[in-house]
């Protein structure tokens, strides 16, 4: 088996994926690495792995746009797949003002050509990375589909101690398919799993998803974040790459400038917090309301799964003016994102009619239970609301969209009528339905805690623990991957 490992500047992810690739290599697979930039190649210690490395930024610098390859892949959403890195570039100041309309065509053409040539040259069978979360990965998926290859996206799940393997994020039907089989009686759920699901649902008010425990994005202190010994080595690497082209390395940009912009963003956030705390409002007892949880940006859950509704102010404004009379909209800030938007953003939300802006530490589960329903793009809060028997109004695409309690917002102009009708209804699903739903999610996930932020020995151990589970789920016998 020939495996294409993707690597980029995602914080710490390389510790896990380098080791996971090494496990495949030890069992006979040939590993080829596709890395987005020279900076990521050095930062991720790829040359120490002994794998063959192909670096995109150098390829991109010499590439001329091929209309032919863009035409051959026109069936795929090539423009939509640019959005995730476009949003990152804008928020983090990666590209500056150095791109134009021709740049995007050349980027699309280069990504497709780069991955096509690797698939052809190395006879790639599988792409190994996390779930599709950025443009680099999305284009690898397109080529894998075209060439009949497998995309293995390893990431955590909402269930504690479970992880998932996904391919196409917009066509992730594993849970829905399993649920249908359980409801039809084609899958007889084991009693132990039934009991686990019952206990999980019973304790959902007190359960925090694994990924929320480990991402560290809620930390706002600058000293603890930046004044660390390990940052010295990173600073030296940034200086070494201080002349890198901002647009050839389309994800990392010029890393010194990109990281400076990230620091500035966190600096502004830290000193925005004191003003922001005074702007939050309180829930009013007895008030009828819908709950809207704000999302973290930039992130694949919004830029890939809800790209049409990326501007959250516009979404919130449309909801505010679509509410039935007598209802409020409670907009709860995100614990990992509060303070990143401008003060003006928050002021505009507060000026909207019928809207109360709530602090990120307000008790989410309590708000869900007291609400008339949850309106969301793709949030985990929507998933939790279903288990608490509250209707969910969904703008984006997410694994729980098939649940009976979800109302897809296909036309935002029809939202008011939908809210009027459904808010008066009690949940049309029972405990047994939710139990089947959680059991389906359990069966569609795999055993093991997948913390991609780990480093050192912890990352190595996690990769080795998950390796046999991954190969078994992909029907690849361990020690027989060749």
Convert the chain into a string of H (helix), E (strand) and C (coil).
CEEEEEECCCCCHHHHHHHHHHHHHHCCCEEEEEECCHHHHHHCCHHHHCCEEEEHHHHHHHCCCCHHHHHHCCCCCCCHHHHHHHHHHHHHCCCCCCCCHHHHHHHHHHHHHHHHHHHHHHCCCEEEECCCCCHHHHHHHHHHHHHCCEEEEEEECCCCCEEEEECCHHHCCHHHHHHHHHHHCCCCCCHHHHHHHHHHHHCHHHCCCHHHHHCCCCCCCHHHHHCCCHHHHHHHHHHHCCCCCCCCCCCCCCHHHHHHHHHHHHHHHHHHHHHHHCCCECCCCCCCEEEEECCCCCCHHHHCCCHHHCCHHHHHHHHHCCCCCCCEEEEECCCCCCCCCCHHHHHHHHHCCCEEEECCCCCHHHHHHHCCCEEECCCHHHHHHHHCCCCEEECCCCCCCCCCCEEECCCHHHHHHHHHHHCCCCCCCCHHHHHHHHHHHHHHCEECCCCCCCCHHHHHHHHHHHHHHHHHHCCCCCCCCC
| Inter-residue contact 275 to 230 (CB < 8 Å) | no
What's the pLDDT score for residue 207?
83
**Tokens 């390859």 correspond to what residue?**
69
Check whether 447 has a pLDDT greater than 80: yes
What's the pLDDT score for residue 211?
66
More confident residue, 389 or 424: 389
Same fold, 2-172+448-473 and 289-429: yes
pLDDT band at 479 (very low <50, low <70, confident <90, very high): very low
What's the pLDDT score for residue 17?
97
Phi and psi torsions of 431, nearest 5°: -60, -35
pLDDT band at 229 (very low <50, low <70, confident <90, very high): low
What's the pLDDT score for residue 220?
66
The mean of the pLDDT values for the chain is: 92
Q: Which of 438, 398, 445 is nearest to 157 (CA)?
A: 445
Check whether 235 has a pLDDT greater than 50: yes
For residues 47-75, average pLDDT = 97
The beta-carbon contacts of 40-43 under 8 Å, at least 24 apart in sequence, are 40/7, 40/8, 40/9, 40/251, 40/252, 41/7, 42/237, 42/240, 42/241, 43/9, 43/14, 43/234, 43/237
Residues in a beta bridge with 456 = none
| Inter-residue contact 91 to 72 (CB < 8 Å) | no
Check whether 422 has a pLDDT greater than 90: no
pLDDT band at 482 (very low <50, low <70, confident <90, very high): very low
What's the pLDDT score for residue 79?
97
- Rg (the chain; Cα; Å): 23
Rounded to an integer, what is the distance from CA 30 to the centroid of its chain? Answer: 28
| Inter-residue contact 163 to 449 (CB < 8 Å) | yes
CATH number of 2-172+448-473: 3.40.50
What's the pLDDT score for residue 424?
76
pLDDT (tens digit, 9 = 90+) per residue, 97-153? Answer: 889 999 999 999 999 999 999 999 999 999 999 999 999 999 999 999 999 999 999
Per-residue tokens: 291: 């709950």
What's the pLDDT score for residue 472?
92
What's the pLDDT score for residue 478?
47
Overall residue count recorded for the chain in this entry: 482
Beta strand 150-156 with 162-166 is antiparallel
Fold (CATH) for 289-429 = Rossmann fold (3.40.50)
Domain ranges of the chain: 2-172+448-473, 174-210, 289-429
pLDDT (tens digit, 9 = 90+) per residue, 317-366? Answer: 999 999 999 999 999 999 989 999 999 999 999 999 999 999 999 999 99
What's the pLDDT score for residue 480?
43
What's the pLDDT score for residue 16?
97
What's the pLDDT score for residue 121?
96
What's the pLDDT score for residue 32?
98
Check whether 219 has a pLDDT greater than 80: no
For residues 57-82, average pLDDT = 97
More confident residue, 444 or 229: 444
Q: Which of 352, 359, 399, 381 is nearest to 292 (CA)?
A: 381
Check whether 223 has a pLDDT greater than 80: no
What's the pLDDT score for residue 307?
84
């Amino acid at each position: 088996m020939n495996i294409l490992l993707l690597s980029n500047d995602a914080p710490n992810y390389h510790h896990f994926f380098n080791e996971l690739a090494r496990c495949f290599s030890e069992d006979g697979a040939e590993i080829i690495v596709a890395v987005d930039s020279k900076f990521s190649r050095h930062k991720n210690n790829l040359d120490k792995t002994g794998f063959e490395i192909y670096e995109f930024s150098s390829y991109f610098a010499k590439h001329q746009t091929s209309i032919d390859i863009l035409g051959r892949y026109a069936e795929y959403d090539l423009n939509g797949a640019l959005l995730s890195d476009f949003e990152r570039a804008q928020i983090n100041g990666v590209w500056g003002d150095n791109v134009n309309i021709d740049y995007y065509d050349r980027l699309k053409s280069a990504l497709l050509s780069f991955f096509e040539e690797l698939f052809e040259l190395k006879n790639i069978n599988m792409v190994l990375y996390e779930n599709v979360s950025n443009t680099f990965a999305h284009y690898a998926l397109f080529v894998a589909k075209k060439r009949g290859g497998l995309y293995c996206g390893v990431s955590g799940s909402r269930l504690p101690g479970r992880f998932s393997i996904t391919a196409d994020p917009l066509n992730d039907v594993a849970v829905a398919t399993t649920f249908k089989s359980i409801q039809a009686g084609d899958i007889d759920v084991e009693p132990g799993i039934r009991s686990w699901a019952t206990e999980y649902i019973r304790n959902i008010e007190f359960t925090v998803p694994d990924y929320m425990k480990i991402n560290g994005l809620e930390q706002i202190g600058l000293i603890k974040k930046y004044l660390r010994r390990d940052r010295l080595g990173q600073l030296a690497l940034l200086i070494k790459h201080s002349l890198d082209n901002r647009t050839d390395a389309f994800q990392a940009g010029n890393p010194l400038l990109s990281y400076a912009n990230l620091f500035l963003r966190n600096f502004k956030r830290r000193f925005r917090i004191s003003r922001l705390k005074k702007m939050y409002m309180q829930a009013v007892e007895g008030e009828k309301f819908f709950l809207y949880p704000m999302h973290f940006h930039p992130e694949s859950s919004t830029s890939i799964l809800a790209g049409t509704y990326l501007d959250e102010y516009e979404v919130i404004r449309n909801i505010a003016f679509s509410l039935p009379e007598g209802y409020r909209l409670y907009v709860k800030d995100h614990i990992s994102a509060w303070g990143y938007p401008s003060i003006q953003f928050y002021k505009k939300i507060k000026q909207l009619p019928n809207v109360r802006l709530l602090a990120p530490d307000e008790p989410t589960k309590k708000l869900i239970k007291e609400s008339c329903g949850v309106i969301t793009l793709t949030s985990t809060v929507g998933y939790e609301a279903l288990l608490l028997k509250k209707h969910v109004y969904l703008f984006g695409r997410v694994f729980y969209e098939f649940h009976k309690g979800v109302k897809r917002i296909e036309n935002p102009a029809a939202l008011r009528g939908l809210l009027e009708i459904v808010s008066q209804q009690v949940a049309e699903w029972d405990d047994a339905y939710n139990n089947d739903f959680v059991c389906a999610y359990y069966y569609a996930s795999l055993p093991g805690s997948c913390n991609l932020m780990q480093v050192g020995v912890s990352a190595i151990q996690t990769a080795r623990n998950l390796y046999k589970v991954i190969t078994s789920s992909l029907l690849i016998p361990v020690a027989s991957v060749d």
